Structure 1
Amino acid sequence: MTNIRELKRKIISFPQFSILLSFVAMLLFFSIFAEGFFSVRNFTGVSRQAVVQMCVAIGMTFVLISNEIDLSVGSIANLSGTIMAGLMVRNGLSPALAIALGLGLGTFLGAVNGVVVAYIKVPSFVATLAMMITARGLSLVYSNARPINELPDSILYIGRNYVMGIPILVIIAIVLVLVAAFILTRTNYGRHIFAVGGNAESARLSGIHISRTKLSVFAISGFCAALAGMVMIMRLASSQPTMGDGLELDAIAAAVLGGTSISGGKGFVLGTVIGGLFLVFLTNGFNIFGLSSFWQQVFKGIILVLAVSLYERKK
């Protein structure tokens, strides 16, 4: 009996227990009442859609753990993806080189955010809001607010094909999740991020370079956003002027639903994955029901507030 009680206590105290239970309940509900929801075809399509959100949410997790926020991830994803598409279609660059340059651009813009926040001491909300506006404007200028189509076949192949029955895009997301989890849980650098977010002064007295650590998490966020931009053009087979709009809100919601603290010092990659999947499958179920996208936003907001309230109460 004691062992059973101890096992029950460990399960309930599992950081993602609430969101995981909610996720399973939601899947069961839609599987019963939403025709076509519980099918291989639907799950495959939704998993592809989840990759974009997963990329930006992982980067956002790093930033939130350090007690900062990044509102520019959607615009950086948009700009990076647009640049990749433009370099391939307009300038004839090879897909590999265009993708490398796009990822480098996203990392650079993230690092710029880090410099402004960590060294110039501009609040991250303001700094990344400015970057969001700037990157969005640059994307519209570069694309002339028009789609960039006719991407190379190799890009379309990655976006539409499988390896051992798993979509290639999903494999990219799995690799990113594993690398992020390893960094945060198995490296000194990961422990430094948690220390900086939990108590910056104590971290400084322990010899951790606060500014350098914060700069690096924004660079990681920028890289993840650029990776999301790459995935979007592979999925859409084109670059769209507004393809990254709203990603920053989805990323924050996924991380917070997964137990990452907006006050810093606490975060879980696994939780972010569950939170991101929860939101994507919730949207998918609502779409099958034919619920208006306007009402979907209302319900998502309510769910987010309830999730944070329950998390704070449990803490």
Structure 2
Amino acid sequence: MDVVVFGATGYLGSHAAEQLMIAGHAVKCIVRPQSDTYFLQSIAADIHVVDFVNGDLSAHIDEGSCVLNCTADTRMHLSDLQRSKVEIDLTTQIFKAAAGAGAKRFMQLSTVMLYGFDRPPHAIDEQYSPSPKYSYSRIAARRERVLLDLAKTSAMELIVLRPSNTLGKRDTSALPAILPLLEKGKFPVIGGGGWRYSNADARDVGRAFVHLLDLPIVGPEIYLMKAYDISWLDLKAEIDNILGRKSRVLNIPRGLALGLGGVMEFLFPYGSSPPLTRFMVETLSSNTLFDDSKLRSTGFLPKYDLHETLLDALSDKSPY
């Protein structure tokens, strides 16, 4: 199938484009003029540089194709208005361009963070009502509602994928934040590190999109996706095992971390990158478990376990 990918220079977007190409689909990557396309060039991707403001996005979308939107502003410290420019405004622009060009299906990369942190300690599924607390979660939830409203008046099919936390090559947040301390023999955790969360290999997120590409649906569908459940201490143990050395737990009390995050949000202006925010603290100190039975019932199974994920991610020496 012809697939048009927006956001293919991003972390998960690059994995989606790569897995779609591996599966043999014709993939067209739409990128901004200022985007870093080093990785896409390395896999010989079909790159189309487009001015998202003044360019005609529909001109790059073929009739009957599938459009995959992985665009996102992943900065942690933004106002709702700043975050909406990509999450809402650009997503709406891409959806309308795809519908106008006669695309068959629109797939949206979303996030489990839209559920907020007022969740039970057990796994939840797609039916659990989001209760977003922070801007990152609020705008993610709003983006899905906007897409569902747009789909009501469009002949184009809509699928939304909510991946769990992920690890993999080209990640710019999780492992890169941990590795400097690991080199000093320390593994940072908040509130003891026993919090359990669902995780997946970034390659499996790409494989999920391959699976969903031509999955028969009768209306808009939302799918959760994960591979395995672990704790931060499980992650530490497996990294120690792979690196062949034992790190020491550096525990930060949860209350102290939340206080520091709040202070840093106050001191740093919107659009900057504080070393810690309350959203980051709650992400690292909450049980974040998901039930992906709906996706698995369609025949999709993740391929990679934690050991395989970390072997691949920790071997990443690339400049992209």
Asked if Structure 1 and Structure 2 have the same fold, meaning a TM-score greater than 0.5 normalized by the shorter chain, the answer is no
If the length of structure 2 is used for normalisation, what is the TM-score? 0.27
If the length of structure 1 is used for normalisation, what is the TM-score? 0.27
Higher percent of residues as strand: 2
